[in-house]
Amino acid sequence: MKQKKFLATIMLVFLLSFFSIETVSAQPTGKPQKCIMVFGAHADDVESIAGGTLAKYIAMGYKGIYVGTINNLAGCSLEKTPYFNGAPLFTISNSPRKYPVDALETSQIRQEEALQAAEVFGATPIFLDFREPWFSMGRKQIDYGTIQYQQFSPPGRKLISIATIVSADVDVVCELLRKYQPEIVITHTLGGEKLDHGNTAYLVYLAFKRVMKEKMPLGKLWMPVRGWFSETAAQKNGRGKPDIGIDVKEYLPIKYAAYDKHISQNGGFGRDYVLSNKRGPYNDQVEEFITVIDITR
């Protein structure tokens, strides 16, 4: 009987020491890494959200991570770039009309453009491959939920909006945050100007909160002043007022050079594309953000 009590005591001491070690190892081990990570929904959104800021921090010695969240099955056109009124026509037929490129070719084109843009920044490119909610097949738009979408079964992870409710997909972003432990994370605005943008923001937000609870050494989560932040009411009541302003005047050549790699979107006229798409209080020489989370305080 005494021997059994002795063995039980030894086992209890062992278990307590084991859990004590686990508890200690789960505590924060240091400060965030000198790293800036920008999550863009589509291939050219990193430049749109924080191209100058990314360039500036990389020049300051930070490791830059260029993240494309969606697999870009849509958004590429022949003859004329889809979203830039001032862009020149391509040279196949000089038609003023836009002709959408099929899904897989679009994804390949836009990923190659993003790879080249990341190289301009000197950043590490990462593609998460979540699905677009639509794509083009011939000249027809195929939307999520249709029989054609299911039959085609486009490659990639879950639809970006569905990913926000699936723990395993949130973990895809969590793993990036755990690996790089960035001091600064920038993504789109929650409830922003486009659904894919807002869903990307929510995915990053959920992952940041989850990893933060693990007491990992993260830093700050910033979002640009767009979407509802730029509405008149939000500007008047102060909720849409930026608390971060990054002077990027000296880094605009890098930002524009990276934009120029996205020829399928702006025809290689990055500066004109940026200046023609200003939203709200956005100033090209100063990139403004709202601090959503700051663990460093």
Cα-based angle 77, 78, 82 (whole degrees, multiple of 5): 35
pLDDT of residue 13: 33
CA atoms within 13 A on the CB side of 154: 32
Query: Torsion angle, CA of 266/259/286/272, rounded to 10 degrees?
Result: -30
- Residue 205 reports pLDDT greater than 70: yes
Q: What share of the chain is helix, strand, coil (3-state, %, to 5)?
A: 45, 20, 35
Per-residue model confidence as pLDDT tens digits over 92-145: 666 677 778 888 888 899 999 999 999 999 999 999 999 988 888 877 888 988
Query: Which three-class secondary structure state does DSSP give residue 83?
Result: coil
Q: Quick one: tokens of 32?
A: 């965030």
Spatial contact of 39 and 200, defined as CB atoms under 8 Å apart = yes
58: enclosing H helix or E strand? helix 45-59
Q: Of residues 210 and 239, which shows the higher confidence score?
A: 210
Given this model, what pLDDT does residue 279 score? 55
DSSP 88: P
Taking residues 26-54, report their average pLDDT. Answer: 88
pLDDT above 70 (res 1): no
pLDDT tens readout for residues 145-188:
899 988 888 888 988 888 888 889 999 999 999 999 999 999 99
Rg of the chain over Cα atoms, rounded to whole angstroms, equals 23
Contact between 177 and 187 under an 8 Å Cβ cutoff? The reply is no
* C-alpha span between 36 and 180 (Å, rounded): 9
Helices (H) and strands (E) in the chain, counts: 11, 11
- Measured from the Cβ of residue 14, the count of other Cβ atoms closer than 10 Å reads 10
Question: Is residue 18 predicted with pLDDT exceeding 60?
Answer: no
- Cα dist. 287→61, 97, 237, 243 in Å? 19, 34, 21, 11
Task: Give the separation between CA 295 and CA 297, rounded to whole angstroms.
Answer: 6
In the chain, domain spans:
31-294
220-242 pLDDT tens trace = 999 999 888 888 888 888 888 99
pTM for the model stands at: 0.85
Q: What is the pLDDT of residue 40?
A: 97
Would you state the structure tokens that stand for residue 38, as one six-digit string?
């920008």
Cα-based distances in Å from 297 to 54, 185, 220: 22, 16, 9
Cα pseudo-dihedral 152, 158, 162, 163, rounded to 10: -170
Report how far residue 52's alpha carbon sits from residue 246's, in angstroms, rounded to the nearest whole number: 8
Contact of 37 with 67, CB cutoff 8 Å: yes
Say which range, 75-84, 196-205, 234-243, 247-256, has the weakest mean pLDDT.
75-84
* Residues 145 and 151 sit within 8 Å (Cβ to Cβ): no
pLDDT at 93: 67
What CATH class has 31-294? alpha beta
Can you tell me the mean pLDDT for 20-47? 73
